[in-house]
Structure 1
Amino acid sequence: MSDAHKSDLLLVAVTLLAAVSWIFSKEAILLMPPLLFMAVRFLIAGSFLAAFALRPLSRLSNDQIKRGLGVGLVFGIAMSFWVMGLFHGSSMGEGAFITSLGVVIVPIISRLAFKEAQPASTWLAIPVAVGGLALLSLRNGFQPEAGQIFFVVAATIFALYFTLNTRAANQRTVVDRQGKTVEKHRIPALPLTAIALLTVGMVTLVESLITEPWQPTFGNPPPLLIWWVLASAVVGTAGRFLVQTYAQSLSTHSHGAVILVLEPVWVSLFAAGWFGETMTSTQLSGCGLIFAALIVNRWSALSKALRAALRKRETG
């Protein structure tokens, strides 16, 4: 199996871990302030990974640390808007599909900001995915609710984060302002993820200190809250983003991000089972369009695999 195919399969696993994390996060913010939850969640997750990454962290250059912090800062801003959308939103499934708009924005940002070439299949998949997301999340028309606005802003910033994360996880050559060629060494997945998660934790911690009360949470925390926070930190954050960063390090192309549109499909299914949210026929149609977009986006790889299987069958 090629690295590109491994990357795709791992990104599918990421969507499942991300969907489970939505459940953990929703349960947690029902019991504590949202930004404080994000700070605790990401500081625990980042510290957990950093404990296993002390040696590779010590080997990073100043440039690598700087780029890792930059990725984390953008990620922290995106996650701040995301959790406020989750806190104010009326539908978790709808929020997941709005947030996933960021995935289809990734190729646009990669092309406009970094001149990264995109395959034709990606541009064909984008309008199909947008149509599916529209059916799923905007079936009653866009209403300027606080939750929707937070999710839309988060989606846009997530697109930039994913692009920066991919570039940080891969070695590349750039030309500086003086016209000199500079080699940007890749940041290994484990230390890059640890730096990014710790940075998110610090960003949301500062935001929480300024805007939220802490006493009700730390004065008498519900026992169940501890389990939701730990599950979200270890499984939904440390595990999920380590796998995502490693998957991105296997491929230099950002069009694999389109796979992440699977996340809201799982979120809607889990929300239906856990919170009793329902899916209408319109939403199911939207899911169908999203899967169609995935097939269009990965058609080249799928067709090669089918041809190889047919040749093997004929020769065997």
Structure 2
Amino acid sequence: MPPSRTAALLILLASAAVLGLAPILVRLADTGPAAAGFWRFAFALPLLGLLVARPGQAAGEGGPGKPSPLMALAALFFVLDLSFWHYSIVFTSVANATVLTNLTPIVVTAAAWLMFRERPRALFLAALVLALAGAWTMSAGADGRQGSNPRLGDLFAAVTALWYAGYFLTVKALRGRVSAGRIMLWATALGAPLLLAVSLALGEPLAPASTGGWLACAGLGVVHVVGQGGVAWSLGRLPAALTAVTVLIQPVVAAGLGWLLFAETMTAVQLAGAAALLAGVVLAQWASLKKKGAEAEAAAPVP
């Protein structure tokens, strides 16, 4: 395996694990769902500004530059993703919201096949099915109560998968010519006022009511830079479909933290689902490596 690809896989796995902190911090934020997203962006912006202004940038990549229409589209997709996902948890059961939102890899795999000619191998598709089955089993095995409007919540969760897939694919298209830091900076800067507008329009409590809430919001900013930034960086070096499957380890991390911090026990069914999900991630990476090896062998000159 090339060192650059190994580094990209390790960074992607670490970033996905960091993103597993997000639902825990949202619960601790002590504010409205969209407002938590706004503070996530607000606290991330100074860090992203320092990131793109750091010395040693490649030629043409120093400074923030100017936003492009695709960056604005990425911001819109991400704002819709956060807003719909947070409210789907309010309206329906956590199990349903998690299962339907995890349809994202299916959308990304199909779209990447059409847009980027990243044709998946049969083994990769099997890994995708295994990972999604594990995610579904983790959610279905939980004792979740129905929310105030289950049908609307289920619809919001399903649509969330489309928004996140749109964000993935937009960033993938940008990464061919723009640094991950610059993409994250402008997607966050353009998305922050939109999330603020959503929060105000819905009459949410905007400011956290406790010091712990403020710390959780600041933590969301760090998670955004490290976690989502790492995913954006990896999209410039790995196939979009592989990246989308790998980030499915987030529910495993979130469930483990929920058990440690909130005494939320996992059933035997959920543990089996977590094992299947992780196995799917490993199998997907192996399938992608086999595809790269076959392509390299086919491209090698005949002696």
TM-score calculated relative to the size of structure 1: 0.77
Once residues 98 and 6 of structure 1 are traced to their aligned partners in structure 2, the CA distance between those partners, rounded to angstroms, is 31
Quote how far apart the aligned CAs of 1:96 are: 4.5
Contact 1:47 1:194 in 2 (8 A): no
Q: Is the Cα–Cα contact under 8 Å of residues 231 and 243 in structure 2 kept in the other structure?
A: no
1:168 aligns with 2:174: yes
Cα distance in 2, alignment partners of residues 245 and 24 from structure 1? 21
Q: Separation in 1 of the partners of 2:45 and 2:289?
A: 36
| Aligned CA distance change for structure 1 residues 100 and 249 (closer, same or farther; 3 Å) | same
Contact 2:135 2:251 in 1 (8 A): no
Listed one character per residue, the Cα deviations across residues 81-127 of structure 1 (whole Å, up to 9, x for unaligned) are: 12223444554x77445433313431022224554322332212222
Q: Which residue of 2 aligns with 1:120?
A: 122
Secondary structure of 1:298's counterpart equals: helix
Match of 2:87 in 1: 84
Give 2:68's aligned amino acid.
I
Whole-Å Cα distance in 2 between the matches of residues 302 and 66 of structure 1?
A: 33
Q: Which moved more, 1:275-284 or 1:133-142?
A: 133-142
Count of paired positions: 280
| 1:226 equivalent in structure 2 | 214
- The yes-or-no answer on 1:257 pairing with 2:244 is yes
Which of 196, 208, 232 lines up with 2:187 in the alignment? 196
Contact 1:67/1:168 (<8 A) preserved = yes
Contact 1:101–1:133 (CA<8 Å) still a contact in 2?
no
RMSD: 2.9
Where does residue 9 of structure 1 map in the other structure? Answer: 10
Aligned-residue sequence identity (percent) comes to 21
Match of 1:27 in 2: 28
* 1:259, distance to aligned residue in structure 2 (A): 1.0
1:152 equivalent among 155, 158, 164 = 158
2: CA distance between counterparts of 1:52 and 1:84? 31
For residues 302 and 248 of structure 1, do their structure 2 counterparts lie closer, same or farther at Cα, with a shift above 3 Å needed?
Answer: closer
2:16, 2:231 within 8 Å by CA — same for their partners in 1?
A: no
Alpha carbons of structure 1 residues 94 and 263: separation in structure 2 relative to 1, 3 Å:
farther
Q: Summarize the Cα distance change of 1:270–1:149 in structure 2 as closer, same or farther, 3 Å threshold.
A: farther
Quick one: distance in 2 between partners of 1:87 and 1:57? 42
Q: Distance in 2 between matches of 1:109 and 1:8?
A: 21
Residue identity matched to 2:219: A
Q: Say if 1:128 and 1:293, in contact at 8 Å, map to a contact too.
A: yes
Change (3 A) 1:302 1:189: closer
SS at 2:119's partner residue? coil
| CA-CA distance at 1:51 after TM superposition | 4.1
For residue 20 of structure 2, give the secondary structure of its aligned residue in structure 1. Answer: helix
Q: Which residue of 2 aligns with 1:243?
A: 230
Partner of residue 296, structure 2: none
Output the amino acid matched with 1:44. Answer: F
Matched, 1:207 2:209: no
Report how far residue 42 of structure 1 moved.
0.8
- Give me the whole-angstrom Cα distance separating, in 2, the residues matched to 1:100 and 1:2: 30
Q: Provide the residue aligned with 1:268 in structure 2.
A: 255
Q: Is the partner of 1:251 in helix, strand or coil? A: coil
Hey, what does 1:291 align to over in structure 2?
278
Distance 1:149 1:267, change over 3 A: farther
Which residues of structure 2 form unaligned runs of 5+? Answer: 55-60, 292-303
In 2, are the aligned partners of 1:265 and 1:287 still within 8 Å (CA)?
yes
Paired AA for residue 184 in structure 2 = T
Q: 1:70 corresponds to which letter in structure 2?
A: L
Deviation of 1:298 after TM superposition, in Å, equals 2.0
Give the 3-state SS of the residue equivalent to 2:190 in structure 1.
Answer: helix
Please tell me the residue identity of whatever aligns with 1:223.
T
Query: Gapped runs of 5+ residues in structure 1?
Result: 171-185, 305-316
Kept after mapping to 1: 8 A contact 2:74/2:166: no
Residues 177-235 of structure 1 deviation map (CA, whole Å, 9 limit, x = unaligned): xxxxxxxxx11111111111222212211212222145xx54x832222111111112x
The TM-score with structure 2 as length reference comes to 0.80
For residue 187 of structure 1, give the secondary structure of its aligned residue in structure 2.
coil
Q: Which moved more, 1:266-275 or 1:152-161?
A: 152-161
1:41-190 equivalences under 5 Å are 41-54=40-53, 56=61, 60=65, 65-88=68-91, 90-91=93-94, 95-96=97-98, 98-139=100-141, 144=150, 147-170=153-176, 186-190=177-181
- The CA deviation at 1:78 is 0.9
Identify if the C-alpha distance between structure 1 residues 270 and 259 changes in structure 2 by more than 3 Å, giving closer, same or farther: same
